[in-house]
């Protein structure tokens, strides 16, 4: 955020995407009333929450355009402040003129209706003000950006549910149960002379167990939400000429990678984004893996190094093999070296897949998958295996979008609850420590919705928004 800007400034921005379009919207949000600006622009008042078809003129009174003006007095607006929206034709030059007209109109003037000067909004500043004014919590604010960036229908619907509060409601329910449990512990600390075991009488252990169970269910849904938002990063790995580029083309349904019989054709990583069952899939074809001594091509060596770097960052690796060369000692030894390298690189999810099943009747090893990139046989089974490996579930009515930071906070909450359970079960354990673990769990949940959030995190979240949101 601009260090010279303050949240007391009236702001404006183009709320529609840059470029030509049928409609362009200029949005203004201000803590102060906007009647002075409205009168300067149109010479009349606007009825709240009604669309007015009016001429838009420059400072000299020359007609710029005709369009709709809508006034939303606070607090009944998207940001909770006074908001004015101008809907004009979507020409870039016209919209620049309209922005300039608003900026100069808002210069300091005399009288009670005067406004301080408008400034252009920072990225995400409209949504940030909505959060500050209680119109959204932090998960809903993030869902605004996720809805805009959604790459699949399932992701868009899940982001919409998060924006409507599905995730927030789950967090709120957990926080309420935590508050009840904390109150029991605090009561035991505050009234030790009563000689009453409040925790036993109030069934604190079963309450904590039920809380952990509910948290586990929410974490599972959040993991699915992260998959819907970020997708699955899959790398195709294997020896040269096993069909990795052909598999990429088959999955993408287009000729994205060059395919030739020449070993080492693919020398750099080629990526393609697609979707399987509503899950975004970012698949990368890499250079064929072999030892440096087996190639004299320096460019290919660099490509192989990039292949291993991509493997280290992948969520899943498809280890593609040539079924027709299975059993050849030299080929099997090279495959064994690749398998060892995958383990060393930390590839947790490796799918063993055998290609060229259409050329012979040799079955693959038990538990492995065979396919033919030429005929397409086995491709659907591979898609389903990828979904299983990712732990993806059908995006139903209860799904919502989530982010990696949400998973981290939920994991921290689970850790504090586990520590609290250990203290509760330990004879003579200090109740102060139990109270502290429950407080830390409560704060970790609050960080998700913004009840306990550092300013640095807020800058990171809202700084990624587009201008005008």
| 358 carries a ligand binding annotation | yes
| 238 carries a ligand binding annotation | no
What is the pLDDT at residue 111? Answer: 45
What is the pLDDT at residue 397? Answer: 59
| 404 carries a ligand binding annotation | no
Residue-wise pLDDT tens digits, 137-172: 889 888 888 888 887 888 888 888 888 889 999 999
What is the pLDDT at residue 439? Answer: 92
| 244 carries a ligand binding annotation | yes
Separation between Cα atoms, residue 112 and residue 118, nearest integer Å: 17
**Residue 185 confidence class, pLDDT cut points 50, 70, 90:** confident
In CATH, the number for domain 11-136 is 3.30.1360.120
| 287 carries a ligand binding annotation | yes
**Residue 445 confidence class, pLDDT cut points 50, 70, 90:** very high
| 17 carries a ligand binding annotation | no
| 260 carries a ligand binding annotation | yes
Average pLDDT over residues 377-382: 87
| 242 carries a ligand binding annotation | yes
**Residue 384 confidence class, pLDDT cut points 50, 70, 90:** confident
Whether the per-residue pLDDT at 287 is higher than 80: the answer is no
| 346 carries a ligand binding annotation | no
Separation between Cα atoms, residue 422 and residue 212, nearest integer Å: 13
| 317 carries a ligand binding annotation | no
Average pLDDT over residues 353-363: 78
Lowest mean pLDDT among 71-75, 83-87, 127-131, 354-358: 354-358
| 85 carries a ligand binding annotation | yes
Most confident of 93-97, 263-267, 288-292: 93-97
| 158 carries a ligand binding annotation | no
What is the pLDDT at residue 27? Answer: 96
376 to 246, 247, 321, 370: CA distances (angstroms): 10, 9, 16, 11
| 291 carries a ligand binding annotation | no
Residue-wise pLDDT tens digits, 200-229: 666 788 889 999 999 999 998 888 888 888
**Residue 107 confidence class, pLDDT cut points 50, 70, 90:** very low
| 133 carries a ligand binding annotation | no
| 110 carries a ligand binding annotation | no
What is the pLDDT at residue 313? Answer: 85
| 264 carries a ligand binding annotation | yes
Residue-wise pLDDT tens digits, 32-83: 999 989 998 999 999 999 999 999 999 889 999 999 999 999 999 999 999 9
| 243 carries a ligand binding annotation | yes
Polymer length of the chain: 469
Separation between Cα atoms, residue 242 and residue 288, nearest integer Å: 8
| 78 carries a ligand binding annotation | no
Burial class (CB in 10 A: 0-12, 13-18, 19+), 454: exposed
Rounded mean pLDDT of the chain?
83
Tell how strand 63-72 and strand 350-355 pair up: unpaired
Whether the per-residue pLDDT at 84 is higher than 90: the answer is yes
Whether the per-residue pLDDT at 254 is higher than 80: the answer is no
Separation between Cα atoms, residue 6 and residue 329, nearest integer Å: 70
153 to 16, 406, 465: CA distances (angstroms): 21, 22, 21
Lowest mean pLDDT among 87-101, 237-251, 412-426: 237-251
With contact defined as beta carbons under 8 Å apart, do 424 and 208 qualify?
Answer: yes
Separation between Cα atoms, residue 35 and residue 86, nearest integer Å: 14
Rounded to the nearest 10 degrees, what angle do helices 204-230 and 166-190 cross at? 150
Average pLDDT over residues 93-116: 72
| 23 carries a ligand binding annotation | no
Query: For the chain, what is the radius of gyration of the CA atoms?
Result: 29
Whether the per-residue pLDDT at 453 is higher than 80: the answer is no
Tell how strand 11-14 and strand 119-120 pair up: parallel
Residue-wise pLDDT tens digits, 393-404: 665 556 788 888
| 230 carries a ligand binding annotation | no
What is the pLDDT at residue 172? Answer: 92
Average pLDDT over residues 348-362: 80
Question: Token pair for residue 196?
Answer: 């009453």
In CATH, the number for domain 231-390 is 3.40.50.300
Q: Which residue has the higher pLDDT, 231 or 410?
A: 410
| 355 carries a ligand binding annotation | yes
In CATH, the number for domain 148-226+403-449 is 1.20.120.430
Domain locations in the chain as residue ranges: 11-136, 148-226+403-449, 231-390
Average pLDDT over residues 446-451: 87
């Amino acid at each position: 955020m601009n260090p010279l800007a303050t949240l007391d400034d009236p702001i404006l921005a183009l709320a529609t995407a840059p470029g030509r379009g049928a409609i362009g919207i200029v949005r203004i949000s201000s803590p102060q009333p906007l009647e002075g600006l409205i009168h300067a622009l149109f010479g009349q008042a606007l009825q709240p929450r009604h669309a007015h078809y009016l001429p838009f003129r420059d400072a000299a009174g020359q007609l710029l355009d005709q369009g709709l003006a809508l006034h939303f007095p606070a607090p009944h607006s998207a940001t909770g402040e006074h908001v004015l929206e101008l809907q004009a034709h979507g020409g870039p030059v016209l919209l620049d003129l309209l922005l300039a007209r608003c900026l100069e109109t808002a210069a300091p003037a005399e009288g009670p209706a005067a406004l301080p000067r408008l400034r252009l909004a920072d990225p995400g500043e409209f949504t940030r003000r909505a959060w500050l004014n209680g119109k959204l919590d932090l998960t809903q604010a993030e869902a605004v950006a996720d809805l805009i960036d959604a790459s699949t229908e399932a992701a868009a619907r899940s982001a919409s549910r998060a924006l409507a509060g599905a995730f927030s409601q789950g967090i709120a329910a957990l926080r309420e149960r935590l508050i009840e449990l904390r109150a029991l512990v605090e009561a035991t600390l505050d009234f030790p002379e009563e000689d009453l075991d409040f925790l036993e009488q109030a069934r604190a252990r079963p309450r904590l167990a039920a809380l952990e169970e509910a948290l586990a269910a929410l974490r599972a849904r959040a993991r699915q939400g992260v998959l819907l938002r970020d997708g699955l990063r899959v790398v195709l790995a294997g020896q040269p000429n096993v069909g990795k580029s052909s598999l990429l083309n088959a999955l993408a349904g287009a000729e994205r990678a060059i395919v030739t019989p020449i070993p080492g054709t693919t020398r750099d990583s080629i990526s393609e984004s697609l979707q399987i069952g509503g899950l975004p899939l970012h698949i990368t074809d890499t250079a064929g893996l072999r030892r440096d001594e087996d190639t004299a091509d320096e460019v290919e060596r660099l490509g192989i190094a990039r292949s291993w770097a991509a493997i280290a960052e992948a969520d899943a690796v498809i280890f593609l093999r040539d079924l027709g060369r299975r059993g050849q000692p030299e080929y099997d030894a090279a495959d064994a070296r690749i398998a060892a390298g995958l383990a060393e690189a930390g590839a947790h999810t490796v799918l063993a897949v055998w290609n060229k099943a259409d050329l012979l009747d040799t079955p693959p090893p038990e538990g492995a998958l065979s396919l033919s990139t030429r005929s397409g046989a086995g491709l659907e089974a591979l898609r389903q295996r990828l979904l299983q490996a990712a732990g993806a579930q059908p995006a139903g009515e209860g799904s919502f979008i989530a982010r990696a930071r949400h998973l981290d906070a939920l994991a921290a909450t689970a850790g504090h609850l586990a520590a609290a359970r250990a203290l509760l079960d330990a004879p003579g354990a200090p109740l102060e420590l139990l109270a502290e673990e429950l407080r830390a769990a409560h704060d970790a949940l609050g960080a998700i919705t913004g009840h306990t959030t550092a300013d640095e995190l807020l800058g990171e979240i809202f700084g990624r928004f587009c201008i005008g949101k």
